[in-house]
């Protein structure tokens, strides 16, 4: 896992964990808006982007790497951890393992209900279709599904086509097989949970379960929004919600 840092390392630390198929660049608007006042850390998850040479193993392994990084570089605690999709699942895993590792957390579109059929089909599907990730037309379809902004498509296409089949299989299985960790209820983080109204019902179901599990958490169902749309397409709105959370103004 590669950790990119922006801003002043002496300021409060905010970690942004990207979604599957994306990389640190998906957080550019957030980085630009916050780097004057915070130290921003954007891990590149194994198997993605510039970390494509390192095989993605699992959500749990990824969480352990972030925890180790925080302990080695920031005395074991940061100001906020924010994640999207599989990045949000990694954030959930971190919160479940280290109850006081962060003061604040934003969990956007995290799946915590295993999808058995998707797991059973993963290996045979990618054995047949893996070559499609290098096709531009297929990348456009995937980018639309992931709500990648048009101006970031070329970067997305270049980097997503570098993911190995092993990483892609491990990523899909880990994402679809991730259950709600029983120890998540112990987290001390002030937590905002985001999900789009237009997302799959299992995603909304996951958001409500997270809200029920994390004491004092705030759930926002974003109207007319799909998977990841709030942070990727409407970063100003995302930043507004984040600032409200950080300064106790959210309702």
pLDDT score at 149: 78
What pLDDT digit, counting tens, does each position of 181-219 carry? 999 999 999 999 999 999 999 999 999 999 999 999 999
Query: Which residues neighbour 193 within 8 Å (Cβ) at sequence distance 6 or greater?
Result: 107, 108, 110, 207, 210, 211, 214, 217, 218, 219, 220
What pLDDT digit, counting tens, does each position of 28-48 carry? 999 999 999 999 999 999 998
Please report which helix (H) or strand (E) contains residue 171, including its range: helix 165-176
Whether the CB-CB separation of 102 and 77 falls below 8 Å is answered with: yes
What pLDDT digit, counting tens, does each position of 37-76 carry? 999 999 999 998 888 889 999 999 999 999 999 999 999 9
Taking the C-alpha atoms of residue 112 and residue 70, their distance in angstroms, rounded to an integer, is: 24
Percent of the chain residues topping a pLDDT of 90: 63
Whether the CB-CB separation of 114 and 179 falls below 8 Å is answered with: yes
**Average pLDDT value for residue range 217-223:** 94
End-to-end CA, the chain: 35
Distances, alpha carbon 134 to alpha carbons 23, 131, 156, 162, in Å: 17, 6, 11, 8
Query: Which overall architecture, per CATH, does domain 2-113+179-246 show?
Result: 3-Layer(aba) Sandwich (3.40)
pLDDT score at 167: 85
pLDDT score at 178: 93
**Average pLDDT value for residue range 80-96:** 97
Query: Which residues neighbour 109 within 8 Å (Cβ) at sequence distance 6 or greater?
Result: 19, 84, 85, 88, 194, 195, 196, 199, 203, 207, 227, 228
Taking the C-alpha atoms of residue 62 and residue 56, their distance in angstroms, rounded to an integer, is: 8
Q: What does the domain layout of the chain look like in residue ranges?
A: 2-113+179-246
Confidence of residue 18 (pLDDT cuts 50, 70, 90): very high
What pLDDT digit, counting tens, does each position of 146-180 carry? 777 788 888 887 777 777 888 888 888 888 889 99
């Amino acid at each position: 896992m590669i950790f990119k840092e922006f801003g002043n390392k002496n300021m409060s630390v905010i970690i942004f964990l990207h979604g599957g198929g994306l990389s640190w660049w998906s957080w550019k608007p957030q980085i630009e808006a916050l780097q004057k006042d915070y130290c921003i850390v954007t891990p590149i998850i194994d198997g993605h982007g510039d970390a494509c040479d390192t095989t993605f193993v699992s959500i749990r392994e990824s969480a352990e790497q972030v925890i180790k990084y925080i302990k080695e570089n920031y005395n074991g605690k940061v100001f906020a951890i924010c994640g999207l999709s599989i990045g949000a699942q990694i954030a959930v895993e971190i919160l479940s393992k280290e109850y006081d590792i962060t003061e604040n957390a934003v969990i956007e579109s995290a799946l915590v209900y295993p999808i058995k059929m998707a797991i059973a089909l993963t290996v045979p599907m990618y054995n047949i279709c893996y070559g499609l990730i290098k096709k531009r037309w297929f990348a456009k379809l995937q980018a639309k599904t992931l709500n990648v902004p048009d101006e970031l498509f070329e970067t997305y296409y270049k980097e997503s086509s570098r993911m190995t089949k092993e990483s892609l299989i491990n990523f899909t299985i880990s994402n679809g097989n991730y259950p709600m960790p029983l120890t998540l209820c112990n987290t001390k983080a002030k937590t905002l949970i985001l999900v789009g109204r237009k997302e799959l019902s299992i995603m909304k179901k996951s958001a409500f379960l997270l809200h029920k599990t994390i004491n004092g958490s705030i759930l926002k169902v974003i109207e007319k929004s799909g998977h990841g749309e709030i942070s990727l397409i409407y970063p100003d709105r995302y930043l507004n919600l984040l600032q409200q959370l950080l300064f106790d103004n959210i309702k």
